[in-house]
Structure 1
Amino acid sequence: MNILVLGAGALGVYFGGRLLEAGQNISFFVREKRAAQLAKEGLKINSPEGNFESRNVTTYTLPEEVRDIDLIFLAVKGYHLDQVIPQVQTIVQHTGAFVLPLLNGMEHIEKLQIAIGKEKVVGGFASIVATLNEKGHVEHTSGNSTLKYGVLHEQQTKICEQLEELHSQVKTKLIREEDILKHMWKKYIFITAFSGITSAMQLPSGYIANSPATFATAIKVILEMSMLAGLEGVILTDQEVESVTKTLLGFKKEATSSMHQDMRKGLPIEVEHLHGGALRLAAKHQVEVPVIETLYGVLKPYENGRPI
């Protein structure tokens, strides 16, 4: 299977690199500056799951150049989605590839389905705490990593089966889920709380558990998001909601969200994609989500980087 990773941030390089390490045919679609950096510095992963380095990295910078691709890992930030959709459309038209978006949230699914067809958009997401260092190498700081995926349209069964065959070959978890929409929602609920709270308090995850007031705020975000999931037809049990809470408390004290990491670096953050998306769903169903709305208001000034 030929896989194109569109985007070479920490997430894209990590999962693309793990597949490259396993001998799969992996290429990266990136901007020219990033292509030059990969050519100079190579692809390198520093990780508890095992280090990996390769100087032989295939990159593309123009969508018309891409050929013979079966699957695209779409690994960009939510605020770049609208910019890359035309490139995704061109590549899919040339290759017939399926697209597995690894973005957080839910709004991107419908956008991509409109752009390239429902049959082409596979459900999925990734879970990892990682960042890029000054050389563009991945620093994986959590103890594990997971990429979950699943069928959203019957025509995706074969490509998901092919991806499933790779699970035992890679140093990460590639997990096929039957009810992928529910798993996507659970991730959306978690990341909205985790990224929102860590970024708003500008502290790592340990401070959530240590402060009853902060923990109570995080719980309210989880409950508001669970309500939205239910209104969208995805019903979570009390045990599933509790498991999201346990995940929130399960990180090392110093661990933090990618949004908080970006915020500390003065980079743009995904507040519009995550919290703004939740507010649009709330408006759609005519319900109130006051804690999410408050987090959105606190974080919105940092949307495009550190306010000047």
Structure 2
Amino acid sequence: MRILVVGAGAVGGYFGSRLVRAGRDVDFLVRPARAELLRDKGLVLRTVEGETEHVPARAVTAAELTPEYDVVLLAVKSYGLEGAVADLTAAVGPRTVVVPFLNGMRHLDVLTERFGLDRVYGGVSMVMTRLGEAGEIVEVGKMGELVYGPLGEDPVVEPERVHEALDGAGFTARLARDIRQEMWDKWVFLASLGAITCLMRAPIGRVNRAPGGSEFSAGMFAEALAVATAAGFPPSERIRDFADKVIGDTERDTSTSMYWDLTHGHPVEGDHIVGDLVTRGRELGVPTPLFCLAHTHLSAYSAGRQD
């Protein structure tokens, strides 16, 4: 199967490089400057053990695309979604499915409106990487998993074929029966941890050691749980137990990529991860005062970057 990875950053670059190493037929859709870098040096991965890997990468630009791909893996930040969709459209043929690995849920509406329910899967990625200053992928922890599944009952590419394309490539690949539930589970956890750490400008352990910190963290998580439950996707006990341990932790410096971006002056996914949860809560009649405060904070930060 021909695979197009849209984005060669911390997520797309990591999983795409694993697929290349496994012998899959992979192209990377990137901007011209990034394409030149990839063609010259390939993908560079610095592992958590301190080793450096160089993986050959076949880079293409939007102008070079043809509708001959079976699977398009979309791995961009949410604020780059509109541009990415415009760029990748030429790659989507009658037997192509788009599998997005963005956080939150809003992007599903954008993709299904553009390509149709039968050409869009849902997806969840779990990885601990970030993009270095020279464009290298920096692994900051050992985690690598993709979860995916069709949104409709009759996708143009069968789930088993998508799974075959992604499985056995050096990371965990899992076909989900209810991908929307998987996506909500991650969103509840990520939005809570991201909102807590970004609003307090501190990793979770430091927040919870502060006066009132544990109560604040628990309140934020409770709001996210209430929205998910009202939407018809109450998180499983497994996710609740995991989130309780992480969000209630008082020792570790756990945070999220959004916290990293915020504290390093980069753009953040405030609207997609936090703001959309506020919007859905309002539509469902669920109060989210703590998430509203976090969204205001992130919005003010984003406006400041543009001044």
Q: What corresponds to 1:218 in structure 2?
A: 217
Partner SS for 1:136:
coil
Deviation by residue 1:130-167 (Cα, 9 ceiling, x = unmatched): 11112211111122121111122222385421233356
- 1:126 and 2:130 aligned: no
AA matched with 2:185: K
- CA 1:162–1:130: 2 relative to 1, 3 Å: same
Q: What corresponds to 2:232 in structure 1?
A: 233
Q: What corresponds to 1:138 in structure 2?
A: 137
5+ residue gaps in structure 1? none
5+ residue gaps in structure 2? none
Q: Give yes or no for contact 1:151–1:157 (8 Å, CA) kept in 2.
A: no
Q: Give 1:249 shift.
A: 5.5
AA matched with 1:174: A
TM-score normalised by structure 1 residue count: 0.89
Deviation by residue 1:71-105 (Cα, 9 ceiling, x = unmatched): 1111111111122222233321x463101110000
- 1:89 and 2:128 aligned: no
- CA 1:9–1:34: 2 relative to 1, 3 Å: same
Q: What corresponds to 2:266 in structure 1?
A: 267
Cα distance in structure 2, aligned partners of 1:170 and 1:111: 29
Q: What corresponds to 1:182 in structure 2?
A: 181
- What pairs with 1:246-261 in structure 2 (closer than 5 Å)? 246-248=245-247, 253-261=252-260
Partner SS for 2:37:
helix
TM-score normalised by structure 2 residue count: 0.90
Q: What corresponds to 2:287 in structure 1?
A: 288
Moved more, 196-205 or 185-194: 196-205
C-alpha RMSD of matched pairs (Å): 2.6
Q: Aligned pair count?
A: 307
AA matched with 1:16: G
Moved more, 222-231 or 108-117: 222-231
Q: Give yes or no for contact 1:270–1:303 (8 Å, CA) kept in 2.
A: no
Q: Give yes or no for contact 1:150–1:178 (8 Å, CA) kept in 2.
A: yes
Q: Give 1:261 shift.
A: 1.4
AA matched with 1:29: L
Q: What corresponds to 2:30 in structure 1?
A: 30
AA matched with 1:267: H
- 1:65 and 2:42 aligned: no
Q: Give yes or no for contact 2:198–2:294 (8 Å, CA) kept in 1.
A: no
- CA 1:218–1:145: 2 relative to 1, 3 Å: farther
Deviation by residue 1:53-75 (Cα, 9 ceiling, x = unmatched): 34531111125523421111111
